[in-house]
Each structure stands twice: as C-alpha cells, then as structure tokens.
Amino acid sequence: MINREWHLLSRPVGWPKPEDFALVESEAPTPGEGQVLVRNKYLSVDPYMRGRMSAAKSYVAPFELGKVMQGGAVGEVVASNAEGIAVGDHVLHFLGWREYAAVDAKNAVKVNPDAAPLSTYLGVLGMTGLTAYAGLLRTASFKEGDAVFVSGAAGAVGSQVGQIAKLKGASRVIGSAGSDDKVKLLVEEYGFDAAFNYKNGKVSDQLREAAPDGIDVYFDNVGGDHLEAAIGQLNRDGRIAVCGMISVYNNTEPAPGPRNLARLIQTRGRIEGFLVGDHYDLQPQFVQEVGPWVASGALKYRETVVEGIENNLEAFLGVLRGDNTGKMIVKL
C-alpha cells in the first residue's frame, strides 16, 4: 500500500511557505510487536504545530527535518500485532500528517464511532475540548458570576471556553473574532452575550464597550493587543489564562509585551500560562461533564473540514490565517 506523508524540508522564517514542505510517497509501514497499523480517517491541524517547525527550545521537541511531521489523528485499525486492539477498532493517536501509521498500542486510545462522530475526538471531545475545560476551570479558576472574555472565540478552543463559562453561570461572556460572520455565530448560536470583530477598530475600545463593568477572566488565544486590552479591563483579583498567542507565531522579531502590566499591581491580577498535557488528570471529569452537553446540544460545535491528505498543509496555513470556524479537520 502506498502511504502519503508530509515532511518538513526547512524551518520556516516568518510565515510558512509551501517550499518548506513536501508530500512524500512511501510504502505503508508494517506494525511491529505491540503495534497496530492505522488507516487514518481524520487529521488534526493546530496552531501549536507552528512552534514545532522551529528549532527553538520549547515544551515539545521540534519536528525533524526530512521526516514526517506529527499531530492528532483518528483512524481504523487495519492490522494488529498487539493485544487488546483488534482489526476494525478505531483509535486516537498522535501520528498524523500521513495516511497510514504504525502506532504503539500503549499510545493508542480506543474510541467509539457509535457514541460520537470520529472527528469530535480531535476537537470538542478531544484535546481542544480538554484545553478549554482545564484552562477555564483550573488555570483561570473560573467561578459562577465571573465576567469572561475570550479571544479567538470562534476557534475550536475559544468557542468551547465561552459556552462552558455560560453553562457554569458566567455573568457575561464576551468574544473576539476576525469576521462579522463569526461574531454573529458567537452571539446567535454559541450564546455569547457580546462579541466584536477585532478588525473593525481598536481592541481596547471594543472590549471596553462590550464589558463596561470589566472582566474577571481572560482566556488568551491571541496575545498582542488582545492581552493588553484585557489587562486594561481586568477587575480586582482578575485571572488571565494564556493558552496561545497566535498573533506572534510568525513574527521574525520579538513582539513587544503589553505596555500596561503595572495595572496588575492595582488589580492584584494574575497571568498564568498552561499546557493541556499537564491536565490529563481532568480527562474523566471532562468527558463525564461535557459529553452529555454535546449529546444534548447544550454545547454546540462547528468543524471546518478540508478533504484530502494533499490539502493538509493548506488546512494548517488556514488555521494560522483564521480561515476556520471551530476545529479545522482534514478528512482522508
């Protein structure tokens, strides 16, 4: 069987370019002892992958040049050399960016396609969902009555943050997004109390208008002017959970920090970064609480689906541009 897979050829400087990558054909691997061969059905592309394309030291090893990249994937087992996983089972794993993957059984999680669509295990019921849940409830210490601001609010993580906050009793939820259509989606479908298009004016002015009484929690997916605006509107004992800063990922020079950090002294505010990998102990609680919300329709989600392994790179670049509404998924 022919296996197509994406390799990183050179480390991007600024925005990634097509010539930094190559779609390579090889033979599908044979599973070794304790492994299963998975035919991937859905692949995940996420903003954090941009950091792995750099050689800079980070919380996860960079992608190796000339070798296949990695990412979340869910697929069907077509050959098994491991106990506990049979041909025909569906599993979640992290050897994406390819059509076939030989996965160590210990790194494969069985999922039920009858309980929820397979793609949801990469999004609303997967890593992005747990990111929203852990970041809001643990890192930001959300409590009933808080006013919450979410940047990148129409994305896979941000859309869940806002809805979970509403379901948990937030007094007000505000979101920012990059188009008027996304703003409409946030208010009319996801139940945000207010939302604005950050391209339509200064973020600080629009946030002040949307949150005249200030905010208690800011969930940061963007950084830059959004972070500065949030600090400006932070109430006493406000909390900021830093999940991502997509506005600076392709910068070639260090981005200036917020100019109003001194305001944290006045507000006794707190900024804390987090990684979902530190919070997998919450997974059972997350599934138990969020699963029924998704099943009942209380928590809504969107997916932007791109078809074909040949379009995997374009789907990833689309995430960096903000083309997606909800989770960006590649269907094979």
Quick: pLDDT tens for 70-125: 999 999 999 999 999 999 999 999 999 999 999 999 999 899 998 889 999 999 99
Q: What is the pLDDT of residues 105-117, one digit of tens each?
A: 999 989 999 888 9
Contact 216, 189 (CB under 8 A): no
Tell me, what's the pLDDT at 195? 98
Round to whole Å and give the CA distance between 289 and 327: 20
Q: Across residues 306-324, what is the average pLDDT? A: 96
The SS3 call for residue 308 is coil
Q: 19: Cβ–Cβ under 8 A, 6 or more apart, which residues?
A: 9, 10
Tell me, what's the pLDDT at 225? 95
Q: Across residues 206-234, what is the average pLDDT? A: 97
Tell me, what's the pLDDT at 256? 81
Q: Provide DSSP, 172-220.
A: EEEEEESSHHHHHHHHHTS--SEEEEGGGS-HHHHHHHH-TT-EEEEEE
3-state helix, strand, coil in the chain (%, to 5): 35, 30, 40
> 50: part of which helix (H) or strand (E)?
helix 49-52
Average pLDDT, the chain: 95
Packing angle of the helix pair 127-134, 156-167 (nearest 10 deg) = 50
Round to whole Å and give the CA distance between 199 and 124: 27
Tell me, what's the pLDDT at 309? 98
Tell me, what's the pLDDT at 247? 85
Tell me, what's the pLDDT at 253? 81
Does the pLDDT at position 3 exceed 90?
A: yes
Tell me, what's the pLDDT at 167? 98
Q: Across residues 238-260, what is the average pLDDT? A: 88
Angle, CA 213 vertex, CA 207 and CA 214 arms, to 5°: 55
Does the pLDDT at position 252 exceed 80?
A: no
Q: Across residues 12-36, what is the average pLDDT? A: 96
Which of 43, 28, 32 is closest to 306 using CA atoms? 43
Q: What is the pLDDT of residues 169-202, one digit of tens each?
A: 999 999 999 999 999 999 999 999 999 999 999 9
The SS3 call for residue 118 is helix
Q: 25: Cβ–Cβ under 8 A, 6 or more apart, which residues?
A: 2, 3, 4
Tell me, what's the pLDDT at 215? 98
Q: Across residues 207-220, what is the average pLDDT? A: 98
